[in-house]
Structure 1
Amino acid sequence: MKLSALWQDMRMLGNLFLVRTTSDPEKKTARLYEMYPPDRLVVEDTHYYNLGYWKPGCTTLDEAAETLADVVADTAEFKPDDTVLDVGFGYGDQDFHWIDRYGPEKIIGINITKIHIRVAQERARKLGLLDRVDFREGSATAIPLPDNSVDKVVALESAFHFDTRADFFAEAFRVLKPGGVLVTADIIPMAGGKAKADIRSHAIKWIRIMIDDSNWYPRDRYGDLLASAGFDTVEVRSIRDNVYEQWRQYHVRRVQDPSFQRRSSTLFYKMVAVAHRDQDTLTEELKSLDYVVASARKPAL
């Protein structure tokens, strides 16, 4: 093993220990994602880190992840004169895609994971997009922007980490201009599903560790909290049928793909393979999870 890969593996194990021993929600989340630099991802050609929206015929997580980004943008109705706030932007893939496909005037990204900020800023510099995208450190529950300053707020598979999601809703409402729109793509439980504490599958046990009970509620409660924050035109729709099973099947294929094993460090490959070893348990427990795209509008003046 190359020394650089060995060093990354050691860092991964160190961060795993810190994740399990850290109580502060933001520090815990940042340390989780510090475990996965760009060469420690299951995607093939991108740096996306979401479960994806799997249209018929889709075969790669890269494609599914970008399609999920499109679902968020289309739901928010991105327009060329928009200023968009992306909360929890990962490595910035969706933002570069949105600039290219939808052409918003400006995207501001906030994140608490330093490697995400550093890599995304460097990618923006190389692409000559520093005038269009602004990646910075910031908390979802203390957004470093003035009132009524953005047209759209989006959180692509990140809001379940926020401390709390309801506090994020309030902050999103504050920074949105009147008539502005909030859209999230989010993991929540099915009503009456298996308790979070009872999740046993290695592939999704991070939910038990990383999502606080305060953020673990089904679709109807999600909509109620958006309305309580002041939003109207609230919609919380499930897209789970285009997410979980296809995501599961992709990982089965990926673990069996020799090219994935060759490009992965020994530790990272083993972690992914072990996580997806018990497919029966995973298949059963995924039935308890919902995946929603929520949209809500700040009333116009």
Structure 2
Amino acid sequence: MLENLRTLGRVIRTLATKDPVTRVRRFYEIQSPGVEFAARTTRYMNVGYWEDGVTSLDVAGAALATKLADAAGFKPDDTVLDVGFGYGDQDFAWLRDRRVAKVHGINVTPRHVEHAQQRARQEGLAEQAEFQLGTATALPFADGTFDRVVALESAFHFYPRSAFFAEAFRVLKPGGTIATADIIPLSNDTVRMSISSGPLSFVKFSIPDENWHDRTVYAEQLAAAGFVNPDVQSIQDRTWEGWRRFQAARPSDPEFQAEADRSAVKGMANHWRDEKLIKKELSLLDYVIAVAHKP
């Protein structure tokens, strides 16, 4: 009960926040890590890429990070900027599996930055993985610094995303690539504030109106920032339903029940109970991998 009251207090504080950057930071401080990552082996914070037979968000989350790396065309010795990196699991995977030379991470949430910094030190990667506080629309780097700029399920928060595109263009080297895994509406006709289910409350409360547009506008904004050959592809059929099934089943998972507070388990079950409404609203959301290049 006490944890539920604390969570409610954090929700109220977040909703009362007018500054968009602070609002996003507080949004990611609502859920206790002890609940969010109970009975899990990673701290991926994305909805995942759900291949047939996958039942774990840890596996699906890693698969989405791989999908983004493939789209960005990661090569050994690349210098990568990861904007809105969460807890940084993908960055350590890219260093290990893609052999990129260095990853810089920017994030507005101190909890995330501190965790990633500590992990980098523990794994002896502090020289290859640097994480710091900062915002996507005012990147603290010189022009032409990076080979790749990526945002794994974070750019929908950036205020506005078009300003992030301009900053990404600036800090990329000529020939560099931007790649995002992102959440947008399937249609511009969908009213953002009409989304009302609990699991999709982030749509109403943490996506600015300026970022609420379909694939066509997304590509147009990349082009307006100076990028060429923007390609915005939907992977909706491999994201939302797998994520929904996993989350809806968690309250019944004995391992989750053993690790999470009893009131948190009950709260999550209540959060996901309206399957019909959640499915209906998820059908209005697209999930895209977008790629473009700096000439």
Q: After TM superposition, is the score higher than 0.5?
A: yes
Question: 1:28 maps to what in 2?
Answer: 23
Instruction: Indicate conservation of the 8 Å contact 1:37/1:115, yes or no.
Output: no
Question: 1:134 maps to what in 2?
Answer: 130
Distance 1:37 1:85 in 2: 27
* 1:161-200 aligned within 5 A: 161-191=157-187, 194-200=190-196
Question: 2:13 maps to what in 1?
Answer: 18
Q: In structure 2, do the counterparts of structure 1 residues 37 and 96 end up closer, same or farther at CA, with 3 Å as the change threshold?
A: farther
Give deviations 1:231-273, integer Å, cap 9, x for gaps.
Answer: 0021000000000111111112212112212211234323322
Question: 2:221 maps to what in 1?
Answer: 225
Question: 1:234 maps to what in 2?
Answer: 230
Instruction: Indicate conservation of the 8 Å contact 1:232/1:297, yes or no.
Output: yes
Q: Of residues 230, 237, 243 in structure 1, which corresponds to 2:239?
A: 243
Distance 2:268 2:140 in 1: 36
Deviation of 1:37 (Å): 4.5
Deviation of 1:15 (Å): 2.0
Question: 1:41 maps to what in 2?
Answer: 36
Distance 2:24 2:262 in 1: 24
Q: In structure 2, do the counterparts of structure 1 residues 286 and 42 end up closer, same or farther at CA, with 3 Å as the change threshold?
A: farther
Deviation of 1:192 (Å): 5.3
Instruction: Indicate conservation of the 8 Å contact 1:194/1:285, yes or no.
Output: no
Distance 2:258 2:189 in 1: 38
Instruction: Indicate conservation of the 8 Å contact 2:188/2:212, yes or no.
Output: no
State the secondary structure of the residue aligned to 1:39.
helix
Q: Of residues 141, 146, 155 in structure 2, which corresponds to 1:150?
A: 146
Question: 2:259 maps to what in 1?
Answer: 263
Runs of 4+, deviation exceeding 6 Å: none
Question: 1:91 maps to what in 2?
Answer: 87
Instruction: Indicate conservation of the 8 Å contact 1:41/1:49, yes or no.
Output: no
Normalising to structure 2: TM-score of the pair?
0.96
Deviation of 1:194 (Å): 3.4
Distance 2:84 2:160 in 1: 14
Distance 2:187 2:166 in 1: 24
State the secondary structure of the residue aligned to 1:204.
helix
Deviation of 1:283 (Å): 0.7
Deviation of 1:10 (Å): 5.6
Q: In structure 2, do the counterparts of structure 1 residues 170 and 155 end up closer, same or farther at CA, with 3 Å as the change threshold?
A: same
* Backbone CA RMSD of aligned residues: 1.5
Distance 1:134 1:37 in 2: 25
Structure 2 unmatched runs, 5+ = none
Deviation of 1:14 (Å): 3.0
Normalising to structure 1: TM-score of the pair?
0.94
1:205 aligned to 2:198?
A: no
1:53 aligned to 2:57?
A: no
Q: In structure 2, do the counterparts of structure 1 residues 41 and 35 end up closer, same or farther at CA, with 3 Å as the change threshold?
A: same
Distance 1:48 1:65 in 2: 6
Which amino acid is the alignment partner of residue 78 of structure 1? F
Instruction: Indicate conservation of the 8 Å contact 2:228/2:292, yes or no.
Output: yes
Distance 1:183 1:267 in 2: 39
Deviates more, 1:270-279 or 1:50-59: 270-279
Question: 2:155 maps to what in 1?
Answer: 159
State the secondary structure of the residue aligned to 1:226.
helix
1:253 aligned to 2:249?
A: yes
1:105 aligned to 2:69?
A: no
Structure 1 unmatched runs, 5+ = none
